[in-house]
Structure 1
Amino acid sequence: MPNMVEMMKQVKQLKKMQKELKRKIVSASSPDGSVTVEACGDMTVKSVSIAPEAMSGMDPKRLGDMVARTVNSAMDSAKKAAAGDMSRLAEGAGLGDMFGG
């Protein structure tokens, strides 16, 4: 069991990691490139870009589906990036495979 000093170090590392995750940005694009989504490592969507031609030349339901799939892809990438960072932190703190590392 870690002592109090070690626990405080881990809390500090976790807070630092949370700040870093907010700054980490991943992106995903639809197969045709008409929709691009940027997401942060803290699981927030930073931006959604839709090409003008997609808005005028695509069925609204199809466009909505494409946006949803692209957002899900970006969020999946953000989760993987966050899991990798948390795994490295856990290894450094001696917590082994706690975060899938």
Structure 2
Amino acid sequence: MKGMPGGMAQLMKQANQMQMKMKKAQEELSKKEYEASSGGGAVKVKVNGDHLLTSLTIDAEVLKAGDVEMLQDMILSCTNEAIKTAKDTSSKEMEKITGGMNIPGMF
């Protein structure tokens, strides 16, 4: 940092602080769970902040109906909804830190 003009050193310091805040936020977000359901709660899924499926619950009544395609659609629908919620939440949290700047490779 020595030899840099004062403005550049300050900018580097701010960038490092932003990166640390983003890393902390990403760690916190990865621990959160996001739940979605389909079919009036017949199928429920949970995903974590890393967009990995952590829980899948299927009501026994759905299985009795025997409609495999409907069950597959419900699983896909609520899984995608939970992942979208996780991504949207992550984007909003990062925007708070970056002030809406798009920083490639940061998240």
Output the aligned Cα RMSD: 2.0
What is the letter of the counterpart of residue 77 of structure 1?
A: T
Counterpart position of 2:27: 19
Report percent identity of matched pairs.
31
Structure 1 regions of 5+ residues with no counterpart? Answer: none
C-alpha offsets along residues 42-85 of structure 1, whole Å, 9 cap, x if unaligned? 22222111112212323112211110111011111111111111
The code of the aligned residue for 2:37 comes to S
In the alignment, structure 1 residue 98 sits paired with structure 2 residue 102 = yes
Is structure 2 residue 40 aligned with structure 1 residue 35? no
- Normalized against structure 1, the TM-score is what? 0.79
How many pairs align?
Answer: 95
Q: Which has the larger radius of gyration?
A: 2
Gaps of 5+ in 2: 1-7
